[in-house]
Amino acid sequence: MDLAKVKDEDKLNLCRKYYIGGFAFLPFLWFVNSVWFFREAFLKPEYQQQKQIKTYVIRSMIGTAIWIAIITTWVVLFQTNRVAWGITADKISFLIPKGIP
């Protein structure tokens, strides 16, 4: 899709749909939303729907940041404590590496 050829209301619609979709545990969608509409929201000259697009993009960026924080904490926690946790860690492990840790 080329945003340059899309009408303004459609752009707003798309941005909003991506924003709402991101609430379904989809930080990637929020990330894509913020990157894709970044230029539209901040670097283009003013047009009618831009204010709303801007709010959606900012909220998507915040959402992405929050999720990245959550994911990083969890992954670090898991990787460092996997051996220590014993049975529980094994149960939630998708892959248990071979060899001696």
Partner 1 sequence: DTLLYGAKHVIMLFVPVSLCMAVVVATISSVTFYTEKGGYLVYTPFHDGDKADADTGTKVWQSVANALILLGVICVMTIVLLLLYKFRCYKVIHGWLIASSLMLLFLFSYIYLGVVLQAYNVAMDYITVALLMWNFGVVGMICIHWKGPLFLQQAYLIVISALMALVFIKYLPDWTTWVVLGVMVIWDLVAVLCPKGPLRILVETAQERNEPIFPALIYSSTMIWSVVGMADDGSDKKKKKKKKSKKKPEAATAEPDRVEEELDGGFLEERPTRQLSQSTEETARAVRAARVLGDTENGQRTNSPRNPTREEEEEEEEEERGVKLGLGDFIFYGVLVGKASSNGDWNTTLACFVAILIGLCFTLLLLAIFRKALPALPISITFGLIFNFTTSLLVQPFADRLSASQVYI
**Residues of the shown chain interacting with partner 1 in the complex, contacts defined by CB under 8 A:** 1-2, 5, 7, 14, 21, 24-29, 32, 35-36, 71, 74-75, 78-79, 82, 89, 92-99
Least distance (Å) between residue 51 CB and partner 1: 22
Q: Which is nearer to partner 1, 14 or 50 (CB)?
A: 14
Least distance (Å) between residue 42 CB and partner 1: 17
Q: Which is nearer to partner 1, 45 or 94 (CB)?
A: 94
Question: CA nearest 53: which of 22, 25, 14, 27?
Answer: 14
Q: Which is nearer to partner 1, 4 or 46 (CB)?
A: 4
List C-alpha distances in Å: 59 to 6, 18, 49, 76. Answer: 22, 11, 16, 26
Least distance (Å) between residue 76 CB and partner 1: 11
| Tokens representing residue 91 in the block | 């149960």
Let me know: does 31 contact 62? Beta carbons within 8 Å.
no
**67 SS3 class:** helix
